[in-house]
Amino acid sequence: MNMQSGQILWASIGVLIGAFFLATWRPVKQFIRGRSKGFEVKKRVKAHETKMAKLVSTLFALLAISVSSWSFSYYAKQESLGQLWIEIATAIFGISTAGLLGGIVFEVFLRNEIFEEVSDTLVNIVTIDKDVVKELFTREKRNEVIRTMLQVNMGNDSYGDALYSDFLKKYISTSRRDYREFRYVFSDDITISNIDLEHAVLQDNYYVVVDRLSYRAELRPTDFVAGCGHSEEQLYALFSDPACLYRWLLKGDDFNALIDSGFGFSASLRIDGVECETLHGKGEITNRGYEVYFKNPFIGVSAPAESRSKVGQLVTFHLEIHTLHPRDEKFISVHLAYPVKGAQISFDYHDTDIRNVTKMHFLTGGENTPVIDTGIDPILAPRRHKLTLEIGDDHWIFPDSGAIFIW
């Protein structure tokens, strides 16, 4: 083999090797980069890696055959082994080289373009089709995607993580049976009055409160409870119970005596006009305070078949609470513990010695501020002391929002 032929041989080998690495470097680089970031190998990625390994092995084999056949053809010519051997070697070299170059061309110019188009299509399907998302991703994985998207959109990992952890997580990290309910057309009408003279023991220290609530919400297949705590710890325990529809804080020197007086706390519940039966008598004192339990009339074997279909549907809840409020606490607060769309909160203090009531609201909404109407009805103002806060149903109001009436 003379020097010129050797140079041609090595130049050809170099071109083939360079083209080979050009074709395989991008997926290899992506694989290494994914590994360096702690990339967890899943079934689909393993399948892709297997295909890549087969492609690389095939290109290596074709490269080896091309070099070998070219070398043998050159050797056959130099040693005059016969035209047949030269033709065979030349044919093998042509076929293997064509296969090698074809694979490289497909990888460089076609496969990447096809892969990007298919990827875009798959991304659209996966991110839009709810059934596909549920099938491919667990709840935990979907939550991680939401967290990552918030971080990307905010351009700040800490802020995106704060939005996820402190706002969204409580709504999206639990299963449907434990979700926090959403309330529509929420109304809370609080009437506060002096205690009659015949109850002189209480009248110097407490007001009577009648709190009437109504709202629409999805009916869950559980029984319900309304509770009254005498400390913040008990109140928080009631808030953490998804079956608890209503909570009240009643501070006093002797909580049990207040309950036994008949004024302490009582509750009634109607759902779509159906009165709910109380369980365990009128109520009972527990480690969370005083609780009144209600039987859900739309579940259980005793419920009519047509009534059971209400579970999972929007129904109207009506709660009426009778309780006490200490005179030395010169405020009453309304806490919106659930997301609500449309709310009206009123405070009627006509039958009391309370004067000069100021109302304040604190609302957690979205990008647009909801419509809020406040003030005293000019027609009723001379005759009745009543303040109303009305929140339009144009946007959602999220916890922890509410209103406070101070005197």
Q: Which pLDDT score, from 0 to 100, does residue 55 have? A: 60
CATH code of 401's domain = 2.60.40
| 33 plus 74 within the same structural domain | yes
Task: Of 82, 349, 308, 347, give the one whose Cα is nearest residue 207.
Answer: 349
The closest alpha carbon to 340, from 270, 399, 272, 271, belongs to: 399
The Cα–Cα gap between 321 and 189 comes to 10
Q: Is residue 347 domain-shared with residue 222, that is, in the same domain? A: yes
Kind of pairing, strands 244-249 and 224-229?
A: parallel
Q: Is 27 inside a domain boundary?
A: yes
Helical axes 3-36 vs 43-79, angle rounded to 10°: 170
3 state SS for 334-353: EEECCCEEEEEEEEECCCCC
In terms of Cβ atoms closer than 10 Å to its own Cβ (0-12, 13-18, 19+), residue 375 is exposed
Cis peptide before 253 (omega within 30 of 0): no
What's the domain range around 14? 3-136
- Partners of 406 in the beta sheet? 331, 358
Secondary structure of residue 237 in the 3-state scheme = helix
| CA-closest candidate to residue 95, choices 65, 55, 56 | 65
Strands (E) located in 295-385: 314-326, 331-336, 340-348, 358-364, 372-375
**228 plus 252 within the same structural domain:** yes
Q: How many CB atoms lie within 10 A of CB 6?
A: 11
Distance CA 377, CA 176 (A): 42
C-alpha distances in angstroms, 77 versus 68, 89, 97, 266? 14, 10, 20, 109
Q: Are residues 53 and 130 in the same domain?
A: yes
Residue 105 inside a domain? The answer is: yes
Identify whether residues 388 and 307 lie together within a single domain: yes
Please tell me the predicted confidence (pLDDT) of residue 146.
Answer: 86
Beta-ladder partners of 322:
210, 266
> What's the sign of the alpha-carbon dihedral 353, 248, 266, 284?
negative
Is-above-0.75 flag for pTM? no
In one letter, which amino acid is 240? S
Total domains in the fold of the chain: 3
Q: 177 in a domain, yes or no?
A: no
Tens place of pLDDT for every residue, the chain, 407 residues?
444 454 455 455 555 555 555 555 555 445 444 444 334 335 555 655 666 666 666 656 656 666 666 666 666 666 666 666 666 666 665 565 655 555 555 555 556 655 665 566 556 655 666 776 777 778 888 888 888 888 888 888 888 888 888 878 877 766 544 456 889 999 999 999 998 867 767 888 899 999 999 999 999 999 999 999 999 999 999 988 989 999 999 987 789 889 988 889 999 999 999 999 998 778 999 999 999 999 999 988 777 766 778 888 999 999 999 999 999 999 999 999 888 998 999 999 988 989 888 888 887 766 656 666 655 555 555 555 888 888 888 788 888 888 999 99
Residues 118 and 190 in one domain: no
Check residue 358 and give its pLDDT: 87
Same domain, yes or no: 252 and 331: yes
How many angstroms separate the CA atoms of 13 and 20, rounded?
10
281 part of a folded domain = yes
Task: Give 219's contacts (C-beta < 8 A, 6+ positions apart).
Answer: 271, 296, 298, 310, 311, 312, 313, 314, 315
SS3 percent helix, strand, coil of the chain, rounded to 5, is: 45, 30, 25
What angle do the packed helices 83-105 and 43-79 form, to 10 degrees? 150
Q: Do 126 and 31 share a structural domain?
A: yes
Among the listed residues 180, 183, 192, 193, the one whose alpha carbon sits nearest the alpha carbon of residue 214: 183
Assess whether 219 and 351 both reside in one domain.
yes
Query: Which contiguous run of DSSP H or E holds residue 389?
Result: strand 386-391
Q: How far apart are CA 290 and CA 153, in angstroms?
A: 46
Residue 293 lies in a domain: yes
Q: Assess if residue 186 is contained within a domain.
A: yes
Angle (deg, nearest 10), helices 83-105 and 3-36 = 30
| Residues 77 and 200 occupy one common structural domain | no
* E strands in 149-308: 183-193, 206-218, 224-229, 244-249, 265-271, 274-275, 278-286, 289-294
Say yes or no: 242 and 324 in one domain.
yes
89 within a domain of the structure (yes/no): yes
Residue 265 lies in a domain: yes
- Asked whether residue 112 falls in the same domain as residue 93, the answer is yes
